[in-house]
Homo-oligomer: A and B are copies of this chain.
Amino acid sequence: MARRNEHSRDELREMALAAAETLLDQQGSEALSTRKIATAIGYSAGSLYQVFKNYDDLCWQLNQRTLAMLLAALDTDAAQTLNPGAALQRYGQQYLAFATQWPQRWSLLFEHSTPLDLDTPDELEQAITQLFGKIEQPLSQLFTDRSAEQISEAARTLWAGVHGIAVLRAHNKLFQVQGGADAMASTLLERYILGWQQEISA
């Protein structure tokens, strides 16, 4: 068959990733496959290997797009105008909301573990660094007398905490109250900050 140049390489890549996102959203990561993606865009499965190194590479590129979406979702300029504590609260709520809105994409982002041979792509690591940077900013406003390392560690701790809440909620069954995740993240952030301020004044 081979209708050549009907789509450019980049077009094919974009079509495949878009189709994969749709399949992922509708059927979950378990049901995702090269054959289904290829069929969805009217190509053969083998053609995907001209655009992706392998299935793992395709997943990384999916995750990269998801991370970009997540960063954009946290990029409301409202965070700039709010006071630092409220900004942190807002980040937490937005993170949980993102995990709710895109459960499958968000889940793939963290369930897809690096298969030991290759390490995390640079662009993914940069996005994660960017994510932590967002949290460090209001934190450094709140704790001006703390070192950059302490701010960085606190940012990672708080993000890990909110992430853990999202993880447990995603795996159902761990919370009886459904609306509890938001409140839990809120108190986690509030009490951590209050406690840290208490440490300093002591």
Interface residues of A (CB under 8 A from B): 30, 107, 110-111, 113-115, 119-120, 125, 128, 153-154, 156-157, 159-165, 167-168, 170-175, 180, 183-184, 187-188, 190-196, 198-199
Contact = CB atoms under 8 A, between A and B. Distances in A.
A96 B159 CA distance: 17
B188 A199 contact: no
A66 B166 CA distance: 22
B110 A171 contact: yes
26 contacts: A113-B170, A114-B171, A120-B173, A128-B173, A128-B174, A153-B183, A153-B184, A156-B174, A156-B175, A156-B180, A157-B161, A157-B187, A157-B188, A160-B161, A160-B164, A160-B167, A160-B168, A167-B167, A190-B195, A190-B199, A191-B191, A191-B198, A192-B192, A194-B196, A194-B198, A194-B199
The 10 closest A-B pairs by CB, nearest first: A164-B164, A191-B195, A194-B195, A195-B195, A161-B161, A160-B164, A157-B184, A160-B165, A163-B164, A120-B173
A163 B173 contact: no
